[in-house]
Amino acid sequence: MVKLAEWRGKEVFRKYGIPLPRGHVARSDDEAEALVRAGTVPLPCVIKAQVLAGGRGKGGAVQFATTAEEARAAARQILSLEFKGEKVREILLEEKLPIARELYLAVTLDRAKRLPVLIASAQGGVEIEAVEDAQIDRQWIHPFPGLTGFEQRRAAEVLRLSGGPAKSLAPVLDGLWRAFVAEDAELVEINPLAVVGEGLVALDAKVIIEDDAAFRHPEYSEIRDDRTPLEEIAREKDIAFVQLDGNIGVIANGAGLTMATLDVLQELGGRPGIFLDLGGTDDPKKVTEAFLLMALAKPKVVFLNIFGGVTRCDTVANGLVAALQQVPAGQRFPIVARIRGNNEAEGTAILRAAGITSVPQLKDSAQAAVDLARRSA
């Protein structure tokens, strides 16, 4: 999931013809002032922190300016903020527009219905979660015809638009739909969509791109989510890795088995801290990399829970043994293993030769890991 900052989301909107305020992104107060003086950003203007967290208006991360000097001062102040744990590195400066009404529009996926859904509300400018359900209209859009004329007319009615703004809605909806599909978005949201004179303008942009579509969107590859450095390494090696507060490292294969393992450890009084999902692999090198990554996270004990399918038990055992030879003596940690399934006997024998016993029952092996963690804590 790649969440785009507002200005990047607006670049997407621009590409699909959605009207935007005149403005520009900046990374310093000098740049902000120059943009205003050059007329790229008309006065009066609004200056907004480009962070992913919501609630910027209340947090001082949005300010207004009527002169270039004020714009500079606001830019400097916002760029010094840390907003909800996120350092502000970029700001967006835009003309301040006379807003008649604020609306809400979004397209996202309804998993249960297996259809995209167009969400519209005449109550924009607030968190959509806070709007009562009766004020939110949902239309499920079939991917084959795509967004149709009658669906657009219904949206205009729901948004209580007529005349010029109603005419302006069609290109906005069309652009939003095309952006959702062509950019492989999980979400495209305009909140608020402002009625300005006879037209409509997208004052904010929230765009989330799906990770699995990265192969056809190299343009988003540089944008990072909120990962820890180790999570970033894991991502590069295509290993699912999540770091939490706890001291037991868990290596399992498959999301479901990984989660079930955590559930059992927690129930037995353990504190799983790092978990790493090998996924399906029969490459011992990937297993070795995963173990070395785990070693970097410095767990008290590692619980290895593998059910061999695509990932064979002997592959995992060989990968583990190779990794242990690379971990310096001072950084080693005890390992509790449970390997079942394809090539279980071979894998168990390889581990035994390396001095590791595989405990076949999940409850017993998880208990052993919890006890070891407690003893070394």
In the complex, minimum distance from the CB of residue 144 to other proteins, in angstroms, rounded to a whole number = 6
Shortest distance, CB of residue 214 to other proteins, whole angstroms? 9
Which is catalytic among the residues 104, 151, 220, 289?
104
How many residues in total does the chain contain?
A: 377
Among 39, 58, 85, 129, binds other proteins (CB under 8 A): 129
Q: Given the residues 6, 94, 186, 189, select the one marked as catalytic.
A: 189
- Tell how strand 248-252 and strand 240-243 pair up: unpaired
Is 242 a binder of other proteins (CB under 8 A)? Answer: yes
Written as six digits, the tokens of 255 are 């999301």
Question: At CA 182, angle to CA 164 and CA 205, rounded to 5?
Answer: 55
Count of beta carbons in the 10 Å neighbourhood of residue 41: 28
Angle at 213 between CA 207 and CA 219, to 5 degrees: 65
**From the CB of 361, what's the least distance to other proteins, in Å?**
7
Closest CA to 130 of 60, 46, 191: 191
Least spacing, CB of residue 257 vs other proteins, in Å: 4
Nearest-CA neighbor of 26 among 50, 42, 2?
50
> Would you count residue 9 as binding other proteins (CB under 8 A)?
no
Q: Does 189 qualify as catalytic in the annotation?
A: yes
- Looking at residues 44 to 63 of the shown chain, list those that interact with other proteins (rule: CB under 8 A): none
How far is C-alpha 4 from the chain's CA centre? 9
Which alpha helices (DSSP H) does 100-228 contain, by range?
A: 149-158, 163-182
Q: Tell which one of 39, 58, 112, 130 touches other proteins (CB under 8 A).
A: 112
From 212, 329, 330, 377, residue interacting with other proteins (rule: CB under 8 A): 212
**Shorter beta-carbon distance to other proteins: residue 94 or 289:** 289
Q: Which helix (H) or strand (E) holds 9?
A: helix 6-15
127 makes contact with other proteins (CB under 8 A): no
Helices 229-236 and 284-296: angle between axes, nearest 10 degrees: 170
Among 117, 259, 349, 354, binds other proteins (CB under 8 A): 259
DSSP codes of every residue in 71-93: HHHHHHHHHT-EETTEE---EEE
Query: What is the smallest separation between the CB atom of 309 and other proteins, expressed in angstroms?
Result: 5
Nearer CB in complex with other proteins: 58/114? 114
Which residues sit opposite 190 in a β-bridge? 105
Name the segment binding other proteins (CB under 8 A); options: 53-61, 138-146, 147-155, 163-171: 138-146
- 310: which 2 tokens? 């695509």
- If one asks whether residue 198 binds other proteins (CB under 8 A), the answer comes out as no
**Residues within the interface to other proteins (CB under 8 A):** 1, 109, 111-112, 114-116, 129, 142-144, 181, 184, 186, 210-213, 215-216, 240, 242, 244, 252-260, 262-267, 272, 275, 277, 279-280, 282, 306-311, 340-342, 361-363
